[in-house]
Amino acid sequence: MRALINDYLRSPRSLALACFFVIAMDAAHAFASESMPTNTKSVAGVLADVFQIKIATDANSPKAAYGSCFVVDAAGILATNFHVVAYALHDPKKYHLYLIDGDRSIPAEVVAIDAVNDLALVQVDRTFNRAVKFAHGLPESGDKIYSIGWPEDLNKAVSEGNFNGLMQAGPYRKIQMSIPLNPGMSGGPTINDAGEVIGVNVSLRADSQSLAFAIPYESLRTLMREKKASLSRPEDHDDFDETMRAQLERVQEEIATNVLRESDATLKIGSWNIFKPTKIVKCWHSQESGPRDQTQVITEQCYLSGSMPIKRDLDAGTFRLRYQAIENRNLNAWQFLHQLNDELEDQPFAIADKVERFTTSLRCRQLDLVNPKNVGLRVHYCVNGFVPYAEAYNLEFELVASSAQRTALLVSGSFLGFSAHNALAILRTIINSIAWDHK
């Protein structure tokens, strides 16, 4: 069983949201008519404030990454997503940032970041005729909104959709919208009918057609007020790492505090009772019978629907939990154990063994213990650390509890970018809460 658990822990981790750098639709002439409606003229007026941004080894080299940005201060300040400029921040000696203005590639530097909200401000050595205007409030649910961005080396483009309110998940706050965000609109503005910015394009749900998200404009305005010295120059790389470390520490502390505040919250699953946070996670429930109706499997999967991007394919400041109760109907002890092994092999997520220059190799340990409710448990957990950020770790665990070979509880989870103290405190709360209901 331990080998099966280790194999599971090294499977790829699924991602719920995909961030995009490019869009593939042409709207360059969409607003050419002098007779267009007022709201369309307002949208067209913002087009001149939106630019493409690229990350490359030099101005003439092919792009390593690119996305959109828009002018927020005519003195040369533009807003974009943190994940768009992350290459240049993590490896500033190799990658550089450029604003594309016609045929020119203008050097740019990052002057402020808010990785928790996936925002960055960049500065260029030029002035602009104007900057975008910010809204004084958010639209009503169902109101028309527009997202602007740049395509895969094509023309600037506009997508139309609807505002669907705000989504709050722990420290993460996003605008939910029904809009066809195509690859590449990351970092571009989301605007209302009046042409005022209400948010910053950030992501599209990977398994949807038009369920998209933007960062509310208030977060961007806050970053603009707190703007500080450049982070993109090689000599400032230590400052960047410290800024990221501090932001990750703050967000995981907030999440852990919210989770542990609910330490008395209990999930009844099958014959078992166990701690389950309820206020900041979304959960899915399923129930099915095993082959020939010999077992019944009840599953509840919970996740925090938000994360802090670190670099491509590496997030932090988030967690997942999966609970499974397996009731044995007519299997013998050996058959039931085999069924448990099959379930252990089928777990859906795991932390990566090692991400070069960012995380250490996994260290794993297995414990057999009895919790305060007199339930015997086998706990297997693995940990690795973030190389640039002291006291930030990924922890993955799996535990098994069984009672008289008639019922079993499997719990697995991952905590990404947490302090060792907070991750272990949550794990300890889960372990100590497990109780078997004899009724």
**DSSP 8-class letter at 89:** H
**Which range, 6-10, 360-364, 392-396, has the best average confidence (pLDDT)?**
392-396
The sign one gets for the Cα dihedral 206, 207, 210, 215 is negative
Is 228 or 117 the better-scoring residue by pLDDT? Answer: 117
Rounded average pLDDT over 85-97: 91
Q: Which CATH number fits domain 17-232: 2.40.50.140, 3.40.50.150, 2.40.10.120, 3.40.309.10?
A: 2.40.10.120
Q: What is the pLDDT of residues 125-181, one digit of tens each?
A: 999 999 999 999 999 999 999 999 986 767 888 999 999 999 999 999 999 999 988
Average the pLDDT over 117-124 and give the result.
96
What is the structure's pLDDT at 14?
34
Check whether 381 has a pLDDT greater than 80: yes
Task: Write the DSSP assignment of 226-281 as a string of letters.
Answer: T--S-S-SGGGHHHHHHHHHHHHHHHHHHHHHHHHTTTT-EEEETTEEEE---SS-
Residue spans of the domains in the chain: they are 17-232, 248-436
pLDDT at 229 over 90: no
Evaluate if residue 408 carries a pLDDT over 70.
yes
Amino acid occupying residue 334? W
Does residue 12 carry a pLDDT above 60? no
Amino acid (1-letter code) at residue 33: S
Percent pLDDT > 90 in the chain is: 60
Give this prediction's pTM: 0.84
Residue 298 has pLDDT above 80, yes or no: yes
Question: Quick one: pLDDT at residue 34?
Answer: 33
Range from 270-284, 290-304, 311-325, 338-352 carrying the lowest mean pLDDT = 338-352
Helix/strand/coil percent split, the chain, to 5: 20, 40, 35
